[in-house]
A = this chain, B = another copy of it.
Amino acid sequence: MSLIVVGSMAFDDIETPFGKSDKIVGGAATYIAWCASNFTPVKQISVVGGDFPQEELNALSARGVALEGVQIKKDEKSFYWSGRYHMDMNTRDTLITELNVLGTFEPVVPESYQDCEFLMLGNLAPSVQLSVIDQLKKKPKLIAMDTMNFWMDIALDDLKKVIAKVDVLLVNDSEARQLSGEYSLVKAAAAISKMGPKYLIIKKGEHGALLFHDKEVFFAPALPLEEVFDPTGAGDTFAGGFIGHLAKTKDISFNNMKTAIIVGSAMASFCVEKFGTQRLREIKKQDIDIRIKEFVDLVNFDIALA
């Protein structure tokens, strides 16, 4: 019993107002795995080229991340993305995108993954996400899916097919607006719920995240930080903390999803403190517990009103 994570494992080259990363390991599934493996065993599905560092694979393996589903194409190159963040750290320009191995990726779900109860579809081509769902012999207890505006622009029909099959959809505020055609996030959530997902998480970056389910709504703030050093991977890390907590507790009630969102927010707040996955590699259980306590203090108030 554990968690399947699907997504890119890649190289990033990041420039922020605080500095340049040079070429470092990134990719949605990399961030999700580093994060979720704090809470539960992870079974990874991805593809890398011969240039992807063996030490990175070893480090993930040592954390309980199974790599049988990670295809290594020795004669090809890994996915590569280069981007530059603006001063506000919320907007960025993509400088280079080289799909490389990702362009022809056909995921294969190993037999040893078939017992997984939780499936996290990281941001990736909807056709790849759909292929993984279709290969599972038994419907997982919960399927969560992250995506982005890029797929809404070029593969909306495919995207809608996947969205119809998932339980939880994660998008940011502008993506929720684009997908629904509604400006109000409350109306956007209602429209998106009609597409399939029973739960919708709208990520608002430094402004926190909203969880919608039926008529209920929950809000989790982002931790106010002195500096956001590098936002790359924060959304993936959030997703990893969210699904990691659910997989660990095996409780998919709305109430436990609230806690899962706080865990995701706490993990994302670590991610942005250093370049790439660096901070996620350093933190221990105690750091996570302290950070979650900070979230409790941040929103806790006395409701004794006369």
Contact = CB atoms under 8 A, between A and B. Distances in A.
A301 B218 contact: yes
A115 interface: no
A35 to B, nearest CB: 15
Given A218-B298, A299-B219, A224 B185 contact: yes
A291 B290 CA distance: 31
A306 B226 CA distance: 29
Given A87-B183, A184-B225, A256 B302 contact: yes
A204 interface: yes
A63 interface: no
Contact of A224 (B219, B220, B221): B219
A298 B217 contact: yes
A220 B300 CA distance: 9
* Contact residues on A (Cβ < 8 Å of other chain), bracket: 35 or more
A262 interface: yes
Contact of A303 (B184, B219, B221, B292): B292
Nearest to A185: B224
A217 B224 contact: yes
Interface in A79-135: 87-88
A239 B298 CA distance: 20
Contacts of A296: 303
A186 interface: yes
A305 interface: yes
A255 interface: yes
Contacts of A303: 259, 262, 292, 296
Contacts of A161: none
B186 A301 contact: no
A8 to B, nearest CB: 30
A75 B219 CA distance: 51
B301 A259 contact: yes
Given A207-B204, A221-B208, A221-B221, A226 B186 contact: yes
A292 to B, nearest CB: 6
Interface string A163-196: 0000000000000000000011111000000000
13 contacts: A184-B228, A208-B221, A217-B224, A217-B298, A218-B298, A218-B299, A219-B224, A219-B299, A220-B299, A221-B221, A262-B301, A262-B303, A289-B305
Given A219-B221, A263-B305, 6 more contacts: A207-B207, A217-B298, A219-B299, A259-B301, A259-B305, A296-B303
Interface of A: 87-88, 183-187, 204, 207-208, 210, 216-221, 224-228, 248-249, 255-256, 258-259, 261-263, 289, 292, 296-306
